[in-house]
Amino acid sequence: MKSLWSQEEASRFGTDLDLRVYSSRLLGHDPSLVLHGGGNTSVKIRETNVLGEEQDILYVKGSGWDLATIEAPGFTPIRMDHLLELVRLESLTDLQMVNELKTQQTIASAPTGSVEAILHAVLPFKYVDHTHADAVVTITNTADGEARIRRIYGEDILVIPYVMPGFDLARLVAERFAAEATERTLGLVLMSHGIFSFGATAQESYLRMIELVDRAERYLADHGAWDLSVPPAFEEAGDLGLELAQLRRAVSEAAGCPMLLASDRSAEAMAFCRRDDLEVISQQGPATPDHVIRTKRLPMLGRDLDAYVSGYRAYFEEQASNARSPVQMLDPAPRVILDPQLGLVTCGKNATEACINTDIYRHTMQIIQRADRLGGWRALSAADIFEVEYWELEQAKLRKGGQPPMFSGEAALVTGAASGIGKACVASLLARGAAVIGLDLNPAVNNLHLRADYLGLACDVTDTRALRQALELGLRRFGGLDMLILDAGVFPGGKRIAELDDGLWRRVMAVNLDANLALLRLCHPLLELAPKQGRVVVIGSKNVPAPGPGAAAYSASKAALNQLARVAALEWGGEGIRINSLHPDAVFDTGLWTQEVLEARAAHYGMGVQQYKTKNLLKTEVSSRDVAELAAEMCGPLFARTTGAQVPVDGGNERVV
């Protein structure tokens, strides 16, 4: 553990709060200290209010902010004197506590302060830092963890036994600190939870955190529990996409909504999933209690969903009977699956959730294995974990609900995704919550979007092997396929039949027709497994109902594709798979149409460019986005009872109407 503090950088942050932002980000950037929204920090500042009164304000991390990217507005200002009064109460429920935090903040629009706000307030230091450092959690989660922690830190820290985060923990810390803290106290270790450091300046508090965590890491190294041997290479099992899609179907049924699955087959993950003692070490609980909200208490081993679901119900029923207030059961589907072939498989209601679970479990695997070497991994009891999983505040969020996006938990594949209508389809699907695999010959497709729910793959759709590979990669990333948008196509320049050569004809047929047949065939078993039934949208052309001279190859290929789609609607209707076509015309914001070509075509008709662009019944322009929005809606509930349809998107064409 090394300090990332840079005096030069820090000097650019002027105020106490700005420095709080700077050192919080340093902590947030190290995933071995905090992961995805974990941890929290604070600074105490004396301010003058509008009445001219001086008051001490605690600026504490607000909910919804991540330390890695936090900014000044991410810290909620709360009146210190009130927080210090609260801690003298005998008890306070979490909902009451949140109400107090909310009503005592001095900026009404600030987020709700961290549930650890009162704990931050009672520590009498200007800066307070809190992380769930892997090394500390590793040591505290062993059978003799407390004795080890005392040996490592001596009088430098106070050891706080595990108590659920919130009011009770704040109260316990206040008592212990008053009774036991000395001049030498640099921080607190919270058993099975994490670590606090504090200091007079941002730098002092940060450096103490680094130093304390570094001592834990060195201790692990000195006890042969740091370096995990590089696992041996394992045999690749070939394509696993279909098996993943089958598993995803079962997980989605258990969850009651579509879920995405991500498969990590790294050597580390495979070695862990194939450990002989997996049933023992993986079935104890998470590394730190707040992971349970995302990962559930236990991973599923193998693929027996029924056994997992009944195990979860039994755990819920047993624990719920002891709960302080009535609780509503969460969905019983796993969020982490350990399978000897599929590797570490994580599940989420969207791609970001699945990704976060992968990150969390990658750290958990290391923590478990190091604790195991140190003398035996031991997580918190099921009762303690249940308390966090079914926490009053989380249950309140559940009751509030809110509608998930239209394609939440679903995945789509779009061909021709780097430009024009295909690119617009990617955007329309992402905007509706789908994860998207974009294929295109143009490698620009790879970096079209840099986000967890997009995977761009450069791929020649006429190469069936390349298609199969791309699909396999897509399935390892998202776990299945619900929607297919067939957009890739070529439009060769005008050539009359008399001059049309066989090579050109075949190339047009290969891209516009054969590739789509191959994709439909490859995707059919996946679409059959889609939790909300498969959907296909074919981007056809006005040339299907109304061909033009000089476009024989294009028109014939699109007409054949249209017929192929109609047959697919007939053959797949019984499986609930819907396939509909769009026939756009005169979409000029695509790569095909440069200003030059537009001017030439307009001149050909004796028109100006604008007149040419709107030469349809409605005198309107048709953009890629217009087509894409309709394509996305065709995959949604509006078209749930429609298959085999052909819808023009052309502003109205005399020859089609």
In angstroms, give the least distance from the CB of 200 to Zn ion: 23
In angstroms, give the least distance from the CB of 67 to Zn ion: 12
Q: Under 8 Å CB-to-CB from 162, ≥6 apart: which residues?
A: 190, 191, 192, 193, 380, 384
Q: Is the Cβ of residue 77 or residue 194 nearer to Zn ion in the bound state?
A: 194
Q: Is the Cβ of residue 194 or residue 584 nearer to Zn ion in the bound state?
A: 194
In angstroms, give the least distance from the CB of 165 to Zn ion: 6
Per the structure block, which two tokens stand in for 626? 């217009």
Helix (H) or strand (E) holding 59: strand 54-61
Q: Is the Cβ of residue 194 or residue 540 nearer to Zn ion in the bound state?
A: 194
Per the structure block, which two tokens stand in for 487? 């957009």
Q: Is the Cβ of residue 194 or residue 343 nearer to Zn ion in the bound state?
A: 194
In angstroms, give the least distance from the CB of 626 to Zn ion: 49
Provide the 3-class DSSP secondary structure of residue 448. coil
Within 182-211, the residues that bind Zn ion by CB under 5 A are 194
Q: Is the Cβ of residue 193 or residue 423 nearer to Zn ion in the bound state?
A: 193
The amino acid occupying position 227 is D
In angstroms, give the least distance from the CB of 38 to Zn ion: 7
Within 335-364, the residues that bind Zn ion by CB under 5 A are none
Q: Is the Cβ of residue 194 or residue 258 nearer to Zn ion in the bound state?
A: 194
How far, in Å, CA of 438 to CA of 457, rounded? 6
Q: Is the Cβ of residue 33 or residue 421 nearer to Zn ion in the bound state?
A: 33
Helices 241-255 + 464-478 axis angle, to 10: 30
In angstroms, give the least distance from the CB of 201 to Zn ion: 23
In angstroms, give the least distance from the CB of 16 to Zn ion: 23
Per the CB < 8 A criterion, the answer to whether 410 and 435 are in contact is yes
533 CB-contact burial (10 Å; exposed 0-12 / middle 13-18 / buried 19+) = middle
In angstroms, give the least distance from the CB of 566 to Zn ion: 58
DSSP per position, 332-395: ---SEEEETTTEEEEEESSHHHHHHHHHHHHHHHHHHHHHHHHT-B----HHHHHHHHT-HHHH
Question: Applying CB under 5 A, what is the total number of residues that bind Zn ion?
Answer: 1
How far, in Å, CA of 540 to CA of 627, rounded? 11
Q: Is the Cβ of residue 196 or residue 361 nearer to Zn ion in the bound state?
A: 196
Q: Can you give the three-state secondary structure of 125-180, one letter per residue? A: CCEEEEECCHHHHHHHCECCHHHHHHHHHHHHEEEECCCCCCHHHHHHHHHHHHHH
Lay out the sheet containing 646-649: strands in order across. 454-458, 435-440, 411-415, 483-486, 535-539, 578-584, 646-649
In angstroms, give the least distance from the CB of 190 to Zn ion: 7
480-512 burial string, b = 16+ CB within 10 Å, else e? bbbbbbbbbbbbeeebeeeeeeeebbebbbbbb
Helix (H) or strand (E) holding 121: helix 117-122
The CB-nearest residue to Zn ion is 194
Q: Is the Cβ of residue 194 or residue 456 nearer to Zn ion in the bound state?
A: 194
Q: Is the Cβ of residue 194 or residue 299 nearer to Zn ion in the bound state?
A: 194
**What is the per-residue binding string for Zn ion in 587-626, x denoting contact by CB under 5 A?**
----------------------------------------
In angstroms, give the least distance from the CB of 194 to Zn ion: 5
Interacting residues toward Zn ion by CB under 5 A = 194
